[in-house]
Amino acid sequence: MHKPLLVALGALLIAAPALAQDNVVNIYNWSDYIAEDTIANFEAETGIKVNYDVYDNNEIVDAKLLAGNSGYDIVVPSGNFLERQIKAGLILPLDKSKLTNLGNLDPAVMATAASQDPDNAHGVPYMINTIGLGYNVAKVQAALGDGAPIDSWDLLFKPEVVAKLKDCGVAVLDSPSEVTGIALHYLGLDPNSESEEDLAKAEALLTSIKPSIRYFHSSQYIDDLGNGEICLALGYSGDIFIASDAAAQAAQGNEVKYLIPKEGAATLFDFLAIPVDAPHPDNALKFINYILEPKVVAAITNYVFYANPNLPALEFVNEEVKSNPGIYPPAETIAKAFVMKAHSPEFEEVLTRTWTRIKTGL
């Protein structure tokens, strides 16, 4: 064989594995936040290999981004965290010329999202969720009788009420900003307050119900609610619907319902975003553009029961999902909901210490 050709072939052989290795995208997403076949379908369509890790708490992602060199190409922070991450220079501005499907997103959602991500420059709204209460209908009825406040945060925050649910099991998200925000809202205070006096009131409330809480965890409650191990959870809307669906499939007599309390629930947008030091930003943009395809994101909504902001996707969302007011909340629920704002890094530190005290009593 001709020598230069041999050399060229040899170079190709050496380069090939390196290229194959490079054609990847490293994704860090919430657990239970994608359809079963989304990743495989994306890999088949694009030839890009996906490395997929999961988390169940905003603080974990935040810490990794702050530390730098996370290796991730896509992360999915909630808006209040994204807002601070953008300000800290941790997120890459989106190259919108590569996001040809961006126009599918609801302009009203984009306008709201812009309050956390100015000009929608850094994040693509992925899913919308509320934080409310999931409960086991029969167990709560058995413990509390007919007068159970199954329309109110009283179910969790009134010590004498929640004490009656202690034996059937109560779980709360391990999420300092969200849980203290909800406690402040319940007390009639600003959920985004950074006053240490207000925080002390939220701490007192949470400490008063602590003896009735079995655990603080942000994903364990899905299985436990589904199989009747616990009867009340402060959790994310779609996760509680996953539990409800599992309970119905198991047919063991557990019926799980989701409650958006009448006082109002927290509403969150989670965003697809690219860390500033992402090793494969172009592949990240390809993945985000794929998620923006109506059928792709509708399949995710149908599987994980979270609403997406993609307008043409709505026709592919199952009827029982889009007509469920716990998944696609009606206007009056949204009007009563509150949006979490970013905390200053200083307050975040105070909050972390407070949260440890609430959980450990120390």
Side-chain half-sphere of 360: how many Cα atoms within 13 Å?
7
CB of 30 to ligand N2P, least distance (A): 4
Q: Which is nearer to ligand N2P, 268 or 292 (CB)?
A: 268
Q: Which residue, 245, 231, 218, is CA-closest to 304? A: 245
Of the ranges 26-34, 38-46, 61-69, 251-259, which one interacts with ligand N2P (CB under 6 A)?
A: 26-34
Of the ranges 25-33, 84-92, 113-121, 246-254, which one interacts with ligand N2P (CB under 6 A)?
A: 25-33
CA dihedral 324, 83, 30, 245 (to 10 degrees): -10
Residues 87-126 that bind ligand N2P (CB under 6 A): none
CB of 236 to ligand N2P, least distance (A): 4
C-beta separation of 50 from 42 below 8 A: yes
Distance CA 90, CA 86 (A): 6
CB of 88 to ligand N2P, least distance (A): 20
Q: Which is nearer to ligand N2P, 32 or 154 (CB)?
A: 32
> CA 151 → CA 134, 148, 259, 265, 302, distances in Å?
11, 9, 7, 12, 26
Of the ranges 27-35, 189-197, 207-215, 341-349, which one interacts with ligand N2P (CB under 6 A)?
A: 27-35
CB of 208 to ligand N2P, least distance (A): 26
Residue 177 binds to ligand N2P (criterion: CB under 6 A): no
Q: Which is nearer to ligand N2P, 28 or 281 (CB)?
A: 28
Residues 267-296 that bind ligand N2P (CB under 6 A): 268, 270
* Alpha carbon 53 to chain centroid, angstroms: 14
Site string for ligand N2P, 233-262 (x = CB under 6 A): ---x--x-----------------------
Q: Which is nearer to ligand N2P, 24 or 54 (CB)?
A: 54
CB of 304 to ligand N2P, least distance (A): 7
Helices (H), the chain: 3-22, 38-46, 58-67, 79-87, 107-113, 137-144, 154-157, 159-162, 176-186, 196-209, 220-226, 237-250, 281-291, 294-304, 319-322, 331-336, 345-360
Of the ranges 28-36, 67-75, 190-198, 285-293, which one interacts with ligand N2P (CB under 6 A)?
A: 28-36
DSSP assignment of 238-262? HHHHHHHHHHHHHTSS--EEEE--T
Site string for ligand N2P, 128-167 (x = CB under 6 A): -x--------------------------------------
CB of 240 to ligand N2P, least distance (A): 10
C-beta separation of 90 from 275 below 8 A: yes
CB of 144 to ligand N2P, least distance (A): 28
Q: Which is nearer to ligand N2P, 75 or 162 (CB)?
A: 75
Q: Which residues of 333-357 are buried (b: 16+ CB within 10 A; e: fewer)?
A: bbeebbbbbbbeeebbeebeebbee
Residues 29-48 that bind ligand N2P (CB under 6 A): 30-33
Side-chain half-sphere of 162: how many Cα atoms within 13 Å?
27
Q: Which is nearer to ligand N2P, 73 or 178 (CB)?
A: 178
Q: Which is nearer to ligand N2P, 30 or 48 (CB)?
A: 30
Residue type (1 letter), 306: Y
Q: How many residues bind ligand N2P (CB under 6 A)?
A: 10
Identified binder of ligand N2P from the candidate list 78, 116, 120, 333, rule CB under 6 A: 78
DSSP tag of 34: S
Token pair in block for residue 153: 């945060």
Q: Where do contacts with ligand N2P occur on this chain (CB under 6 A)?
A: 30-33, 78, 129, 236, 239, 268, 270
